[in-house]
């Protein structure tokens, strides 16, 4: 377009130069070539009028040419402006193409992000289902733990009651042992008193027998036989009491040992229930932590997808 305008400008300039170089030929009545007696003088007035008309037309043409030149300058400036605008439009088009490509890349990246978000959503749905199953299992375990805890509390209460019964039984047996021991000590004291009395009587009789050894030998021998039978009887009674006390002590020890074993077994069961409860609580804490983490990740994913 600029070349066409330039060619038109050169043609107009050439025509203008041609017009300027050939000034109008005006024939005036005072020209030396015409005399008053010239045959053409009669028509000079008409010629003058024609020349004036031609000159007016020429002036009008010159004005029209000046206006045309002004319009040409305006057109030339407009063409230059249009050329600059076209160049600017080209740059704008290139910038728009770059922006369109950028938007296309962003759209493709957004599509990939959407696909990734869908995959992540499917993954988290699976994880959520898994966590729900774990929560159900943990809830079942918690219910079982509560049952076991109640059983442990009941077993502990039974153990306390058994312990109280053992203590009461021990106190009763201990009181019975003390009573038997006191009776045994009383019997031993009586036996000692009797033995002392027998010994004292024996000494007295022995002294009397020294004075009458011959007369009382038979009586002394008989007395010794009688006293020997009494000693044997006392020793037999003492041995029986010692054996009965030993049997009673062994029975008490066996009962106490059995009760201790029962208490230890019940204590181990209670400790096992407590360990199980702590394990279930730890699993519940882990499941709750995983659930909170999943909720935070899901919230951040929704925030990133929001334009």
- pLDDT, position 250: 73
What digits encode the pLDDT tens for the residues 130-152?
878 888 887 887 788 788 778 77
DSSP per-residue string spanning 208-252: HHHHTHHHHHHHHHHHHHHHHHHHHHHHHHHHHHHHHHHHHHHHH
Most confident among 64-78, 178-192, 206-220 (mean pLDDT): 64-78
Q: Kindly list the distances between the CA atom of residue 65 and the CA atoms of 60, 86, 198, in Å, as whole numbers in the listed order.
A: 8, 30, 182
Residue 215 pLDDT exceeds 50: yes
Q: Check whether 264 has a pLDDT greater than 50.
A: yes
Q: Give 22's DSSP letter.
A: S
Percent of the chain with pLDDT over 90: 0
pLDDT digits 0-9 by tens, 75-104: 888 888 878 887 887 788 788 788 888 888
pLDDT tens, position by position, 4-56:
434 444 444 444 444 444 444 434 444 444 444 444 444 566 667 777 788 88
Which residue carries 């929704």 as its tokens? 302
The segment with the largest mean pLDDT, out of 57-66, 83-92, 212-221, is 57-66
- The confidence score (pLDDT) of residue 25 equals 40
Is residue 145 classed exposed, middle or buried when 0-12, 13-18 and 19+ CB atoms within 10 A define those classes? buried
Provide DSSP, 61-111.
HHHHHHHHHHHHHHHHHHHHHHHHHHHHHHHHHHHHHHHHHHHHHHHHHHH
> Would you say the C-alpha torsion 151, 155, 160, 162 has a positive or negative sign?
positive
- The span from the CA of 118 to the CA of 116, in Å, is 5
């Amino acid at each position: 377009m600029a070349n066409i305008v330039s060619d038109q400008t050169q043609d107009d300039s050439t025509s203008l130069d041609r017009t300027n170089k050939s000034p109008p030929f005006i024939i005036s009545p005072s020209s030396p070539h015409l005399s008053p007696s010239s045959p053409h003088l009669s028509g000079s007035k008409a010629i003058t009028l024609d020349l004036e008309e031609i000159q007016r037309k020429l002036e009008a043409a010159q004005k029209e040419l000046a206006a045309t030149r002004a319009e040409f300058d305006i057109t030339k400036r407009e063409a230059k402006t249009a050329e600059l605008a076209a160049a600017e439009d080209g740059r704008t088009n290139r910038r728009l193409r770059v922006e369109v490509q950028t938007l296309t890349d962003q759209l493709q990246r957004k599509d990939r992000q959407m696909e990734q978000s869908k995959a992540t959503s499917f993954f988290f749905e699976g994880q959520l289902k898994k966590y729900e199953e774990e929560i159900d299992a943990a809830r079942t375990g918690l219910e079982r733990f509560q049952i076991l805890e109640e059983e442990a509390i009941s077993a502990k209460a039974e153990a306390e009651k058994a312990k109280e019964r053992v203590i009461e039984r021990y106190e009763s047996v201990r009181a019975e042992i003390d009573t038997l021991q006191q009776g045994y000590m009383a019997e031993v004291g009586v036996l000692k008193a009797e033995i002392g009395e027998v010994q004292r009587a024996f000494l007295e009789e022995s002294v009397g027998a020294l004075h009458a050894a011959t007369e009382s030998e038979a009586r002394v021998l008989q007395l010794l036989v009688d006293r020997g039978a009494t000693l044997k009887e006392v020793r037999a009674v003492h041995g029986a009491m010692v054996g009965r006390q030993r049997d009673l002590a062994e029975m008490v020890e066996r009962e106490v040992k059995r009760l201790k074993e029962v208490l230890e077994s019940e204590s181990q069961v209670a400790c096992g229930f407590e360990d199980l409860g702590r394990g279930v609580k730890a699993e519940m804490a882990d499941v709750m932590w995983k659930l909170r983490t999943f909720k935070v990740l899901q919230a951040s994913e929704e925030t990133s997808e929001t334009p």
